[in-house]
Structures are given as C-alpha cells and as structure tokens.
Amino acid sequence: MIARHGFNTFASGEIDTAERSRAIFYIVDWPPKMFEFYVKFGYVNHDPLVDELVRLPGPFTWTDLRLDKWVSKTSRELLDRVAEEGWTEGLAVPFRRSATRFGLVSLAGARGALSEDEKNALSMMAMCLHERARQIGPSLGVALALSALSLKELDSLRLVSRGYSDKEIAATLGIAQSTAHQHVESAKRKLKVSSRAAAAAIGVSLGLS
C-alpha cells in the first residue's frame, strides 16, 4: 500500500520521549542497510527526530522539518545523512498518549515532497496500521525494544504484565527460574522502575499484555 506512494520502509511502535529506554516497536520493516545506518551513527538511543514529536502538533514530513527554522541542528544532520543513503522523504504520524508518550508510525523512501492529500491519506492508513500492529504484534512475539530491552527481557516483561511469577515465566519460556528473575530485574532496571507492579503497568501501557 505505501509502496505506491514511494515509501519502501516503515516502523510502528510506542515512544516515551522522556525515557527513551521505554521505546518499543511492534513492526519494523527496515532493510539491513537502514539498520546498519541507524546503529552506526548511534540513533538507536538518540534519534533527534523523536524530539520533534513533542514540539509538533501532528503528522509531519521530512520536507516539513527541512523548512522549519526551529528544527535542531542534529535533526538536520540526520536528514542530510539519510538523504545521502537514499531516503529522501519520510512521514512521521504520531498519536499522543500523554505529554511525553506517543504511538508512532514512521515511513521513509526515495521520493520527493508529499502533497497535502497524500500526507492526509497516508496518515489515515498509518492510524489503521498502528492499531492493528498494537493488537497483533506482541501476540506474535515481534515487538522489539530497539533502544533498551533484549528480546528475552521483553518476553519476560510481557508475562509480568499478565501477572506471571518468576516460576511461571521460567516454565513458559523454558528457562531456569533464576534466569527468569534476572530478566525481570534487568527489565525493571532499564525501565527505571523499582517494583514489579510498575513494570507491569508499563507493559500494559505498551500493549504487551
């Protein structure tokens, strides 16, 4: 669907701009080249375009950012770098949850600026995509915490969100109880929470339960 609009890569997830370690993605359809680029320049933990989510009121394109005098220098540098790699236009469609938390669909491709009609149509598609990804992604085990949690920690957090004990997590994942406990404690530490209940609440808010 997005290919007919000149986009060949996309991601859908949840972002906490105050705590980047709580970012989670339900679908990441990036080519290996883009993953390598993202990791090489350290954008996994410090994507400057995420900062723009707080400042801007709705969907925005990379062209919008290039024309915005308030866009940060680091964001402009990122846009220049991705253009050099062949992704010349993108669209970010955020869904505000709170002052710092957003659902997000991000599209990128090799094309020129979007028309307003294309932007509106793609934003509506993105809304449907995100809700569907939020429903089925965790159940299929495809959620990825790019900036912090390992897949085992993510699996453990999902089960904590369902009220599982360490013993039940161990049995479900086929690991030792002590290992399950380590995964839960590591997830709590990375999420910057001190209690299992707080970790569970984050898991529920991310749609993991």
What are 45's two structure tokens?
A: 């933990």
- 118 and 160 inside one domain: no
- 83 and 125 inside one domain: yes
φ and ψ of 109, to 5 deg: -170, 175
Per-residue confidence (pLDDT) for residue 127, from 0 to 100: 93
CA dist 136 → 154, 157, 182 (Å): 15, 17, 27
> Does residue 145 lie in a domain region?
no
Number of folded domains in the chain? 2
- 181 and 96 inside one domain: no
Q: Which residues, listed in sequence order, are joined to residue 107 by a DSSP beta bridge?
A: 10, 91
What are 169's two structure tokens?
A: 């997590």
Choosing from 107, 140, 173, the residue where a domain stops is 140
Q: What percent of the chain has pLDDT over 70?
A: 90
- Averaging pLDDT over each range in 70-74, 143-147, 168-172, which range is the top one? 168-172
Map tokens 């701009």 to a residue: 17
- 73 and 96 inside one domain: yes
- Between the two ends of the chain, the Cα-to-Cα distance in Å is 29
State how far the Cα of 116 lies from the Cα of 112, in Å rounded to an integer: 13
- 127 and 69 inside one domain: yes
Q: Which residues, listed in sequence order, are joined to residue 103 by a DSSP beta bridge?
A: 14, 95
CA dist 123 → 25, 40, 169 (Å): 18, 29, 38
> Does residue 164 lie in a domain region?
yes
> Does residue 195 lie in a domain region?
yes
The one-character DSSP state at 115 is P
pLDDT of 19 over the 90 cut: no
> Does residue 146 lie in a domain region?
no
pLDDT digit string (tens) for 165-200? Answer: 999 999 999 999 999 999 999 989 888 889 999 999
Residue 18 belongs to domain with CATH number? 3.30.450.80
Residue 160 belongs to domain with CATH number? 1.10.10.10
> Does residue 44 lie in a domain region?
yes
Choosing from 140, 169, 188, the residue where a domain stops is 140
What are 193's two structure tokens?
A: 């929470």
The one-character DSSP state at 174 is T
Question: Which pTM value belongs to this model?
Answer: 0.74
- 156 and 90 inside one domain: no
Report helix, strand and coil shares of the chain as percent, to nearest 5.
55, 15, 30
Choosing from 116, 140, 164, the residue where a domain stops is 140
Per-residue confidence (pLDDT) for residue 49, from 0 to 100: 84
- 116 and 47 inside one domain: yes
- 6 and 106 inside one domain: yes
> 3-class SS at 39?
helix
- 126 and 155 inside one domain: no
| Domain range for 163 | 151-205
- 128 and 191 inside one domain: no
Q: How many CA atoms within 13 Å lie on the side-chain side of 177?
A: 5
